[in-house]
Chain A
Amino acid sequence: MNNPFSLEGKTLLVTGSSSNIGRKIAIRCAEMGAKIIVVARDEERMKATVADLAGNGHQYYAVDLSNAESIANLAEVLPVLDGVVLCAARFDSTPVKNIKRELVQDMFNTNTFANFDLIQKLLKKKKINKGGSIVFISSVASMRPYKGNSLYSATKGAINSFSKVLATELGSQRIRVNCVHPGIVPRDGGVREGALTVEQQREEMAKFPLGMGETDDIAYASVYLLSDVSKWVTGIDLIVDGGQSLI
């Protein structure tokens, strides 16, 4: 049977694919037939991701994306791509009055500037094929305010605006640019203890109209945007949050 969501013959870069959502995106895309290039810092966890990918011909590169030079080197060695998923990011929940300049810098370096830089270099080197798809993993937090999220929300908000302009610039090459906005999903391997206790996080997620989601929900939304079924879709904000942003 012809699968309209097939990614057969496509080479995809997935940043932040050493864990959780990025890892699941890589896994589901490989199942759909794509060759995956895994990028993150932790080599052992990237090897584990690659080992879980269906098919062969996948690769990984250990890169610290908060470093401009590393990004330039990466863009140099990458092959021509049919899709890019920008999923690497760090979270932070410091209230505004406790924020320090170094934190601002690091949050924007990792979550925002790294993505701007990488895309600029890939385009300059003509490493994104015509008909390709760029997917930014943003967040519901870029649209809704949650106490403590100021920097995280701002880094993602910048991504949202950037992606819309990029979509207009790349339309003539039929390269599509879209954002996926995940709601809070439990990490594969359990919820991470942070500012909220595990129990509090589960209580919050249980309040969503559709209850708790999973990393697969984000992964399949990405498959849709990377496959040719969405060939007339660009500049959208695909919210995948079980209704979190409605409440």
Chain B
Amino acid sequence: MTLDEFVKAFAAEFDDTPEETFKPETHYRELDEWGSLVALSIISMVDDEMDKRVTGADLRNCTTIEELYNLVESK
């Protein structure tokens, strides 16, 4: 999965935040909609689409979507 595709897939897990908000450099934990349920959705999206496991700690340790992408890719 490319970084662009990852950003799209990441955005698709949100219901209220407009898609244009999501860029590789977006600080996702600062989004109003960010919370435990979206975090669970991201974990299951990464599992389904990339067959990789991220944890709650990974999501807390990264700041931007790109950082998370790089972390997932390195797994």
Contacts and interface: CB of A to CB of B under 8 A. Distances in A.
Contacts of B39: 195
A195 B60 contact: no
B57 A98 contact: no
A95 B44 contact: yes
A147 interface: yes
B56 A197 contact: yes
Interface in B24-48: 36-37, 39-41, 43-45, 48
B55 interface: yes
Interface string A93-137: 111011010000000000000000000000000000000000000
Contacts of A44: none
B55 A98 contact: no
A97 B40 CA distance: 11
A65 B40 CA distance: 27
Given A98-B48, A100-B48, A147-B36, A195 B41 contact: no
A77 interface: no
A195 B59 CA distance: 9
Report the contact-size class of chain B (Cβ under 8 Å from the partner).
10 to 19
B48 A97 contact: no
Contacts of A4: none
A95 B60 CA distance: 19
- Interface of B, helix, strand, loop or mixed by DSSP: helix
Contact of A148 (B37, B45, B60): B37
Contacts of A98: 40-41, 44-45, 48
A93 B39 CA distance: 11
Contact of B57 (A97, A147, A148, A197): A197
Interface in B4-37: 36-37
Interface residues of A, number: 15
Given A98-B44, A98-B45, A98-B48, A193 B37 contact: no
A90 to B, nearest CB: 14
Contacts of A93: 40, 43
A196 B37 CA distance: 11
A200 B58 CA distance: 13
A151 B3 CA distance: 31
A227 B55 CA distance: 40
B40 A193 contact: no
Interface in A195-230: 195-198, 200
A98 B41 CA distance: 7
B56 A194 contact: yes
Contacts of B45: 98
A61 to B, nearest CB: 30
A195 B48 contact: no
A147 B40 CA distance: 9
B41 A97 contact: yes
7 contacts: A94-B40, A97-B41, A147-B37, A194-B55, A196-B36, A196-B56, A197-B56
Interface of A: 93-95, 97-98, 100, 147-148, 193-198, 200
